[in-house]
Amino acid sequence: MALAGVRVIELAGLAPAPFCGMILSDFGARVIRVDRTKVTMAMDAQARGKQSVALNLKSPQGVAVLKKLCLQSDIVLEPFRKGVMEKLGLGPEELLKENPRLIYARLTGYGQSGSYAKSAGHDINYLAMSGLLSMLGRSSEKPYAPLNLVADFAGGGLMCALGIVLALLERNESGQGQIIDASMVEGAAYVGSFMWKSRSLGLWNRPRGENMLDSGAPFYDTYQTSDGKHMAVGAIEPQFYDHLIKGLGLDAASLPAQMSISDWTELRRTFTQVFAQKTQAEWSRIFDGTDACVTPVLPLDEAGSHPHNRERGSFLKDAQGEVSPRPAPVLSRTPARPCLSRDPVVGEHTRSVLGEYGFDPDHIEQLLSAGVVECNEAKARL
Ligand SMILES: C[C@H](CCC[C@H](C)C(=O)SCCNC(=O)CCNC(=O)[C@H](O)C(C)(C)COP(=O)(O)OP(=O)(O)OC[C@H]1O[C@@H](n2cnc3c(N)ncnc32)[C@H](O)[C@@H]1OP(=O)(O)O)[C@H]1CC[C@H]2[C@@H]3[C@H](O)C[C@@H]4C[C@H](O)CC[C@]4(C)[C@H]3C[C@H](O)[C@]12C
């Protein structure tokens, strides 16, 4: 796999950093997640392929253990607010001095500088600060955050993974590590660059929810079907819009022009009435295989069984029978091979990892008895 042989130390975080760690693990990296001690259950729902070491960083011996792990690793991924790692004596200065090849990835909401750098926050806050949240929401409704997708994951974990891969690539030439300052505000905004750079095209001239791509246009929206499900319509170009009108059984001559914005309300009313006359399955049979850009809105537990997704194997089932998306993108020669066995128990691999990283058995026993580390191999076998 593309990241085979790459060693990652992921400090346990909430959602963005675990996603970044899962991406690296899916594509072949060895990801060791450092959990807190005295924690019964990891909140990492993206732990696929990771190992877990439970380590108390509030102890000097714990800090020394982490330093030794980072000395023999390629990446350290930390999910804390600015200054936390420095307070622990684990800042970039210390770790890069000991391991100049280390890639030190810092995934935060606001970045390592600026007045908000030490403030708590979550996806919605970062999305708000990026400028994008102001564009999200239907006309006459307040802005709403699309789950915690844009800042936590697209602009956070995924963007940080990109930074790590770029730094790995550069290190091949320079032999040097570096610090990655991954701010979710900036990552989200960067993902949304099109919104800034397409304003000259007049795509966003109208208030929120009245533009073509923000639910203003009737040919770019969702519609309820007679069985209470929905269809998604994305018939932007005239030639695709013609297929939409045909599939709906409407007469184009009797309708207002597609781009007559003042008639969009009437056009939406017409589409709403027509879509309500058939079930989602009936509309899918009408539109499948056409260029009308009309697709069923699939719930999570149906996406994997849709014929198209099933044919591609777009979703996988792990050893516990849990369905989730397969890694993307698909590389032809070195594709990801996600681990399908169960997620690690907190501290499951402490003893084995420390042994592999050069800690002698007596030292490991001393660390265990001092509570600096915890090992839960037995619990993992239950
Ligand atoms: C996980 C579910 C989904 C959450 C998504 C949500 C929408 C997000 O946006 S997540 C993104 C959050 N932001 C960032 O990640 C940006 C960078 N990080 C930060 O800004 C901060 O970390 C912070 C604001 C997120 C948290 O601040 P906090 O003060 O808590 O921590 P820090 O300042 O970073 O300092 C860390 C301290 O910890 C010490 N540390 C770290 N590791 C160790 C170690 N190994 N040993 C010892 N000590 C360690 C470190 O030294 C620091 O100490 P100091 O402070 O002294 O310096 C979640 C959605 C719902 C959640 C559940 C729900 O809330 C109910 C339960 C609540 C309960 O409290 C917890 C369990 C819940 C089930 C909870 C679980 C999950 O969170 C959710 C499911």
Q: Is residue 199 part of a domain?
A: no
* Sequence-separated (6 or more) residues with CB below 8 Å from residue 165: 3
Q: Is there an atom of ligand 1 within 6 Å of 124 CB?
A: no
Query: Domain with 58 in it: what CATH number?
Result: 3.40.50.10540
Query: How much is the pLDDT for 172?
Result: 98
- Does 18 share its domain with 125? yes
Q: Is residue 225 part of a domain?
A: yes
Angle at CA of residue 35, ends 31 and 41, nearest 5°: 110
Query: How much is the pLDDT for 336?
Result: 98
| Amino acid at site 374 | E
Query: Domain with 307 in it: what CATH number?
Result: 3.30.1540.10
CA within 13 Å, CB half, 377: 6
Query: How much is the pLDDT for 40?
Result: 80
Q: How far apart are CA 135 and CA 271, in angstroms?
A: 24
Q: How far apart are CA 125 and CA 142, in angstroms?
A: 15
Q: How far apart are CA 203 and CA 19, in angstroms?
A: 32
* Sequence-separated (6 or more) residues with CB below 8 Å from residue 215: 138, 139, 209, 221
Distance between Cα 10 and ligand 1 center (Å): 14
Q: Which residue among 74, 123, 152, 221 is the active-site one?
A: 152
Q: What is the pLDDT of residues 158-177, one digit of tens each?
A: 999 999 999 999 999 999 99
- Does 232 share its domain with 349? no
CA-nearest residue, atom 45 of ligand 1: 36
Mean pLDDT for the chain? Answer: 97
CA-nearest residue, atom 27 of ligand 1: 120
- Does 85 share its domain with 121? yes
Distance between Cα 43 and ligand 1 center (Å): 10
Distance between Cα 220 and ligand 1 center (Å): 38
- Residue 380's pLDDT band (boundaries 50, 70, 90)? low
Using an 8 Å Cβ cutoff, are 27 and 51 in contact? no
Q: What is the pLDDT of residues 308-347, one digit of tens each?
A: 999 999 999 999 999 999 999 999 999 999 999 999 999 9
Q: Is residue 2 part of a domain?
A: no
Query: How much is the pLDDT for 42?
Result: 85
Q: Is there an atom of ligand 1 within 6 Å of 187 CB?
A: no
- Does 64 share its domain with 162? yes
Nearest ligand 1 atom to alpha carbon 87: 57
> Quick one: CA dihedral 151, 11, 58, 90, positive or negative?
negative
Distance between Cα 256 and ligand 1 center (Å): 53
Q: Which two tokens stand for residue 382?
A: 């239950």
Q: Is there an atom of ligand 1 within 6 Å of 135 CB?
A: no
Q: Is residue 204 part of a domain?
A: no
Q: Which residues pair with 231 in a beta bridge?
A: 223, 296
- Residue 13's pLDDT band (boundaries 50, 70, 90)? very high
Q: Which two tokens stand for residue 143?
A: 């802005």
Q: Is there an atom of ligand 1 within 6 Å of 15 CB?
A: yes
- Does 275 share its domain with 356? no
Task: Count structural domains, the chain.
Answer: 2
In this prediction, what percent of the chain has a pLDDT beyond 70?
99
Neighbours of 179 (CB within 10 A): 18
Q: Is residue 212 part of a domain?
A: no
Q: Is residue 325 part of a domain?
A: no
- Does 307 share its domain with 358? no
Q: Is there an atom of ligand 1 within 6 Å of 18 CB?
A: no
Q: Is residue 350 part of a domain?
A: yes
- Does 246 share its domain with 352? no
Neighbours of 10 (CB within 10 A): 30
Q: Is there an atom of ligand 1 within 6 Å of 87 CB?
A: yes
Residue 382 in this model has a pLDDT that exceeds 80:
no
- Does 267 share its domain with 351? no
Q: Which two tokens stand for residue 270?
A: 């017409």
Q: Which of 270, 289, 317 is the last residue of a domain?
A: 317
214 annotated active-site: no
Q: Is there an atom of ligand 1 within 6 Å of 123 CB?
A: yes
Classify residue 247 by burial, with Cβ atoms within 10 Å: 0-12, 13-18, 19+.
Answer: middle
Q: DSSP 3-state assignment of 196?
A: helix
Residue 97 in this model has a pLDDT that exceeds 90:
yes
Query: How much is the pLDDT for 379?
Result: 64
Distance between Cα 381 and ligand 1 center (Å): 28
- Residue 378's pLDDT band (boundaries 50, 70, 90)? low
**What is the domain extent for residue 270?**
220-317
Q: Is there an atom of ligand 1 within 6 Å of 81 CB?
A: yes
Residue among 10, 59, 84 whose CB has most ligand 1 atoms within 8 A, to mutate: 84
- Does 262 share its domain with 175? no
Q: Which of 283, 317, 351 is the last residue of a domain?
A: 317
Q: What is the pLDDT of residues 260-293, one digit of tens each?
A: 999 999 999 999 999 999 999 999 999 999 999 9
Q: In what order do the strands lie in the sheet with 230-234?
A: 220-224, 230-234, 294-296
- Does 368 share its domain with 236? no
Q: Is 175 left (phi over 0), alpha (psi -120 to 50) or beta?
A: left
- Does 145 share its domain with 234? no
Q: Which of 317, 340, 365 is the last residue of a domain?
A: 317
- Report ipTM (2 d.p.): 0.97
Q: Is there an atom of ligand 1 within 6 Å of 14 CB?
A: yes
- Does 44 share its domain with 182? yes
CA-nearest residue, atom 22 of ligand 1: 80
Q: What is the pLDDT of residues 110-129, one digit of tens each?
A: 999 999 999 999 999 999 99
Q: Is residue 198 part of a domain?
A: no
CA-nearest residue, atom 75 of ligand 1: 43
363 annotated active-site: no
Q: What is the pLDDT of residues 191-230, one digit of tens each?
A: 999 999 999 999 999 999 999 999 999 999 999 999 999 9
Q: What is the pLDDT of residues 14-57, one digit of tens each?
A: 999 999 999 999 999 999 999 999 998 888 999 999 999 999 99
